[in-house]
Amino acid sequence: MTGWPSCRRSRAAEPGRRDAGGAGDGGSGRPPRPRLLPGLARGVPAGPARKRGGVQVRQETQGAGGGPAAAPSPARQRLAAAGFEAVVRTRASVRSFRDEPVPRDDVRLMVELATRAANAGNAQPWLFVAVEDVGTKEAMRAAVAAAVDAMAGWPEARGERRALAAVRRYATFFAAAPVVVAVFVLPYESTSDRLMAAHGLDQAARDRLRARPDLQSVGAAAQTLCLAAHAMG
């Protein structure tokens, strides 16, 4: 198993960063965000409807009145030049993998890009661990499978055996990947959390009010990692 540090960015390196929501400061010297698509500046081709993953996608080539479509706005032109729209539209979940090692430098870059995701209070409440060892991946798979099997034995699961078999299959295919990036959620406590706890609210009540900003932050980082991996091929 190979673990990298949590890749928490230094706040000192981003003097203009606002803590809330990962917003920038509008030109205070903050270093530019790395681009997701070096050498892959492709736009989404215009034309008739295409199907991707069962979803119908149509590029508009005509205006509302039937005439030629208006020229894209500067923002849309920049989006196409960066290739970002193509990455988002073509990303798809896969459950089969090539039997080829992934260069560690590539994994490090994916993780570094993931740490650029918006996160609550700039707390960066995540830890990324890259797992290459086959035995470790198999142990992870077995642990997940055992948890699903235990659930299948509950009285409440009677009649759900087929659905749980699918859950078991989809929850364990990750072990076949050449490298697995496990993303951990680190403890995060805001001022609101401390006040709610001091006021006597239990964890369930606090979670309903706070909407788990730690999980939202890690979810954003995981999605950014997936987009980076897709952009890198």
pLDDT of residue 64: 55
pLDDT tens-digit map of 2-39: 444 445 555 544 444 433 343 333 444 444 444 433 33
* Percent of the chain whose predicted confidence (pLDDT) is above 90: 55
- Give the pair of three-digit tokens for residue 53: 């993953």
- What integer is the mean pLDDT of 91-102? 92
Q: Which residue has the higher pLDDT, 66 or 182?
A: 182
Mean pLDDT of the chain, nearest integer: 79
**pLDDT given at position 97:** 93
Asked which of 58-62, 105-109, 197-201, 217-221 is least confident by mean pLDDT, the reply is 58-62
Question: What CA–CA distance (Å, rounded) separates 218 from 126?
Answer: 6
- Confidence at residue 23, expressed as pLDDT on a 0 to 100 scale: 37
Token pair belonging to 43: 């736009």
Question: Closest Cα partner for 28 from 17, 16, 11, 12?
Answer: 16
- The residue-averaged pLDDT of 222-233 equals 93
**pLDDT tens track for 133-165:** 999 999 999 999 999 999 999 999 999 999 999
Distance between CA 214 and CA 219 in Å, rounded? 9
- Would you place residue 80 in the very low, low, confident or very high pLDDT band (cuts 50, 70, 90)? confident
Mean pLDDT of 109-132: 96
* Predicted local distance difference test score (pLDDT) of residue 9: 59
29: which DSSP letter?
A: S
pLDDT for res 76: 78
Task: List the one residue out of 43, 1, 39, 59 whose CA is nearest residue 180.
Answer: 1
| Among the ranges given (16-30, 120-134, 190-204, 206-220), the one the predictor scored with the smallest mean pLDDT | 16-30
pLDDT: is 207 or 111 the higher one?
A: 111
**Which of the four pLDDT bands, split at 50, 70 and 90, describes residue 120?**
very high
Where do the structural domains in the chain lie, given as residue ranges? 134-177
Instruction: Give the mean model confidence (pLDDT) for residues 37-59.
Output: 41
* Assigned token pair, 104: 């560690």
pLDDT band at 43 (very low <50, low <70, confident <90, very high): very low
226 near 177, Cβ under 8 Å?
Answer: no
Is residue 51's pLDDT more than 50? no
